[in-house]
């Protein structure tokens, strides 16, 4: 039996961690099915086949090494309407987490598989809400499922407990040449209270969208894979992306999909 009591308070309350960890949440086979699916997408995309609506983002570091198509992929977005990524959201325990974290009606609006192949750089300190131009800004929760082990060497997540109580801080562009498109970072903030999330395959981390977090570089010779979904209330207004000229344009990566209604799973189609 999963304990999700007070989850909303745990994620967003004062004097609370801003995250919850559910160890051994998913069988290895669940993660393997997701990995098989993204490898197939990476190979289809490399062969010029249509993989829409999935969006494949490759590593952009100069001289990135690899042998197979998937070795060069950083992330694949827009997966939550397909196969194992959708089925996972129908798990009654996921529904319970979403209802207790967000409310009786929940949409998934963002999904990404992160390969974090050997040598890939991490994502610097940020708050997910920096990327989300929503009204209201919260509740928004992320679910981060470990597909492989996440260790200090292979670039696990690091979180700053309690930082969910802070407003969205100023973020500056990631200054590393060849860092991934859109990466930004919080600088000058005291991160000394941060902690690494050392996870095993199948562990599930749930966190608030204001929680500061980062991941470090993968210095191992294997990949550090994870699947991440983000959720909010269906009546959230998604303003999109600031075009910089006074207009807002639709964010092509976001795709709002009903997952829970009246505390019940929405059937998969």
- Give the binding site for ligand AKG (CB under 6 A): 114, 116, 122-123, 128, 157, 213, 215, 226, 228
Q: Name the token pair of 103.
A: 């409310």
Residue (45 or 143) nearer to ligand AKG, CB? 143
Residue (91 or 217) nearer to ligand AKG, CB? 217
For residue 85, give the nearest of 37, 117, 42, 130 by alpha carbon.
Answer: 37
Residue (12 or 266) nearer to ligand AKG, CB? 12
DSSP 8-state class, residue 31: H
User: In the bound complex, what is the minimum distance in angstroms from residue 99's beta carbon to ligand AKG?
Assistant: 22
User: In the bound complex, what is the minimum distance in angstroms from residue 215's beta carbon to ligand AKG?
Assistant: 3
Question: Strand 19-22 relative to strand 204-208: parallel, antiparallel, unpaired?
Answer: antiparallel
Residue number of the CB atom closest to ligand AKG = 215
User: In the bound complex, what is the minimum distance in angstroms from residue 184's beta carbon to ligand AKG?
Assistant: 11
Residue (41 or 143) nearer to ligand AKG, CB? 143
Residue tagged 């990476």 (tokens): 42
CB 233 within 8 A of CB 137: no
User: In the bound complex, what is the minimum distance in angstroms from residue 144's beta carbon to ligand AKG?
Assistant: 7
Task: Give the torsion sign (CA, 181, 128, 250, 79).
Answer: positive
Is the bond preceding residue 10 a cis peptide, omega within 30 degrees? no
Residue (114 or 140) nearer to ligand AKG, CB? 114
User: In the bound complex, what is the minimum distance in angstroms from residue 230's beta carbon to ligand AKG?
Assistant: 8
Provide Rg for the chain, Cα atoms.
18
CB 101 within 8 A of CB 211: no
The helix or strand, by DSSP H or E, that contains position 98, with its residue range, turns out to be helix 92-101
């Amino acid at each position: 039996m999963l304990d999700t009591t007070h989850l909303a308070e745990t994620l967003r309350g004062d004097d609370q961690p801003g995250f919850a960890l559910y160890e051994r949440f998913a069988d290895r086979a669940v993660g393997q099915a997701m990995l098989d699916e993204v490898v197939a997408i990476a190979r289809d995309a490399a062969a010029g086949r249509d993989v829409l609506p999935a969006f494949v983002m490759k590593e952009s570091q100069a001289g990135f090494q690899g042998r197979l198509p998937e070795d060069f992929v950083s992330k694949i977005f827009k997966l939550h309407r397909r196969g194992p990524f959708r089925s996972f959201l129908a798990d009654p325990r996921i529904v319970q987490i979403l209802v207790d974290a967000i409310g009786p009606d929940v949409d998934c609006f963002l999904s990404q598989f992160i390969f974090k192949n050997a040598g890939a750089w991490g994502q610097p300190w940020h708050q997910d809400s920096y990327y989300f131009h929503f009204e209201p800004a919260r509740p928004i929760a992320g679910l981060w499922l470990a597909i492989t082990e996440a260790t200090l060497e292979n670039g696990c997540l690091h979180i700053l407990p309690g930082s969910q109580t802070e407003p969205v801080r100023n973020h500056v562009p990631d200054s590393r040449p060849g860092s991934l498109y859109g990466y930004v970072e919080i600088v000058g903030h005291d991160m000394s209270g941060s902690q690494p999330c050392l996870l095993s395959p199948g562990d599930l981390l749930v966190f608030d969208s204001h929680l500061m977090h980062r991941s470090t570089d993968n210095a191992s010779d294997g990949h550090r894979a994870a699947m991440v979904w983000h959720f909010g209330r269906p009546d959230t207004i998604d303003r999109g992306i600031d075009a910089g000229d006074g207009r807002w344009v639709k964010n092509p990566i976001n795709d709002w999909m009903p997952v829970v209604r009246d505390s019940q799973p929405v059937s998969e189609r």
